[in-house]
Amino acid sequence: MDSITVKEGFLGQKMIAFPKSIINVMKNNDITKKFYISDLGYYPMAHNHYRFRKKGADEYIFIYCTKGKGEIILNDAKTEITPNQLFIIPRKVKHEYKADLLDPWSIYWFHFNGTIAPELYNRYITTKYNNYRDVSFSNDKIDLFEKIFNLFNKNYLEKQIEYANILSLGLISSFVYHDFDSSAQTNQHDTLVDQVKNFLLNSLETNFTLSDIANKFNYSKSYLHTKFKTETGYSIMVFFNLKKIQKACEYLNYTDLSIKEISFKTGFDDPLYFSRLFKNFMGKSPRNYRQSKRK
């Protein structure tokens, strides 16, 4: 049986688990079906981080270590991972990985798939292995990961999903082909919609109405609703609930909190309503989601 060992998550961790609807968009989009991200995150000093998948994962798994160390066991062959080293685990292959007990790794990671994913993995394993496993730390690469994370975290228009996945392909290419990598600058801006998104992301434990949010920013509900949906592809409340459900995915993955406790921690007073909403977004109940990630 596959297993996971994490009791309370990792201080400073962040991750995104995409709902079934977004994954289906990426699978069927003529651009993103070639390469798309299904999960991504960052785990700093990941004490007790351990995964074992007897039948492997449905996606390829990219892991890049920036601090500490850990080990990856692929088909019973063990590889130690230290700072500035990457590893890509193929899909559907038995594997195991864990952080070092005394010096646990800090890792950036994502799961990817698509029609070109097998060829990209083959390019990785057929290059001079050590040269393409050891990649010097680069702020540009980390900045690009942060940009991708923020795009996936705050925008859901199809063209923005395309853009985030194209950037993700560029990111993994900068590792697999790192000798030929050229840096790209990222620009950030702080618009009204950005302010609303940041406010919501910092208030996932609270139950706000659209009126509450409109009053907070001193705009009419209709104006704020239209502007937000135009720029993100989602209404404010759908976006807010999606962020709550994605936070619930973190709790289900990396804590032993009950469904009821997770419901309260994400601002839902009614656990039954929370469970229905979770299933609408993720395609399965919270209980089934947790079981699917641990077997």
Catalogue all structural domains in the chain, each as residue range(s) with its CATH number.
3-180 (2.60.120.280), 192-293 (1.10.10.60)
Residue 71 and residue 97 in contact, taking contact as beta carbons nearer than 8 Å: yes
pLDDT confidence of residue 187: 38
How far are the Cα atoms of 84, 168, 177 from residue 255, in angstroms, in the given order?
A: 28, 28, 37
pTM: 0.70
Distance CA 222, CA 35 (A): 37
Q: How many C-alpha atoms does 206 have within 13 Å on its Cβ side?
A: 10
pLDDT confidence of residue 4: 52
Residue 126: Cβ-neighbour burial (10 angstroms; 0-12, 13-18, 19+): exposed
Residue 70 and residue 81 in contact, taking contact as beta carbons nearer than 8 Å: yes
Structure-model confidence comparison of residues 189 and 79, the more confident one: 79
Question: 26-39, pLDDT tens digit by residue?
Answer: 999 999 999 999 99
Confidence of residue 288 (pLDDT cuts 50, 70, 90): very high
Q: Which residues contact 60 (CB under 8 A, 6 or more apart)?
A: 88, 89, 90, 91, 111, 112, 113, 117, 120, 121
pLDDT confidence of residue 293: 76
Q: How many other C-beta atoms lie within 10 A of the C-beta of residue 136?
A: 8
